[in-house]
Amino acid sequence: MECQYVPLSATGQFSQLFLDYLDQKPALRAFYGDFPTLSAFDKQMAQRQFPNENRAVLVEVLTQQYSQIASKPDLEALNDEKTFVVTTGHQLNLGTGPLYVVYKIVTIINLARKLSATYPGYRFVPLYWMASEDHDFAEINHFRLFGRTHTWQTEQRGAVGRMDPRELASLFAEIPEKLPLFEQAYLNNDTLANAARQYMHELFGQEGLICLDADDPALKRLFAPIMRDELLHQRSSNLVNETTEQLNALGYKTPISPRDINLFYLTDGLRERIVRTEEGVFNVNGTQLHFTEEELLAELDAHPERFSPNVVMRPLYQEVILPNLAYIGGPSEVPYWLQLKAEFDHFGVPFPLLMPRNFALYVPRVTARRINKLGLDTSEMFQDVVTLKRRYVEHHSEHCLKFDEENKAVSKSLEAILVKAQLVDPTLEKAVLAETRRFANAVARLEKKMRRAEERNQEIGVRQLLAVKDELFPEGTPQERIDNFLTFYLNDRDFLKKLLGTFNPFDYRMQVCLEG
User: pLDDT grade, residue 455 (50/70/90)?
Assistant: low
Residue 401: its pLDDT value, please? 47
Beta sheet of 210-213, edge-to-edge order: 210-213, 123-130, 83-90, 324-329, 353-356
Measured in Å, how far apart are the chain's first and last C-alpha atoms?
6
For 428, residues 6+ apart whose C-beta sits below 8 A from its C-beta are 421, 422
d(CA 95, CA 151): 11
pLDDT tens per residue across span 356-368: 999 999 999 999 9
pLDDT tens per residue across span 459-509: 777 888 889 999 999 999 999 999 999 999 999 999 999 999 999 999 999
User: Helix crossing, 459-472 with 429-457: angle to 10°?
Assistant: 90
d(CA 248, CA 251): 5
Q: Give bridge partners of residue 3 from the DSSP assignment.
A: 513
DSSP annotation of 142: E
pTM value is 0.88
d(CA 306, CA 267): 6
Averaged pLDDT for residues 49-70 = 95
Residue 454: its pLDDT value, please? 60
Secondary structure E strands in 75-154: 83-90, 123-130, 142-145, 148-151
Residue 247 near residue 17 (C-beta atoms within 8 A): yes
Burial class of residue 491 in the structure, from the number of CB atoms within 10 Å of its CB (0-12 exposed, 13-18 middle, 19+ buried): exposed
Beta sheet of 359-363, edge-to-edge order: 2-6, 510-514, 359-363
State what percent of residues in the chain have pLDDT above 70.
94
- Closest by CA to 403, choosing from 457, 456, 442, is 442
Single-letter code of the amino acid located at 318: Q
Q: Which residues of 385-406 are buried (b: 16+ CB within 10 A; e: fewer)?
A: eeebbbebbeeeeeeeeeeeee
- Closest by CA to 440, choosing from 411, 417, 420, is 411
pLDDT tens per residue across span 297-340: 999 999 999 999 999 999 999 999 999 999 999 999 999 999 99
Residue 206 predicted with pLDDT over 70: yes
**What's phi and psi for 307, nearest 5 deg?**
-120, 125
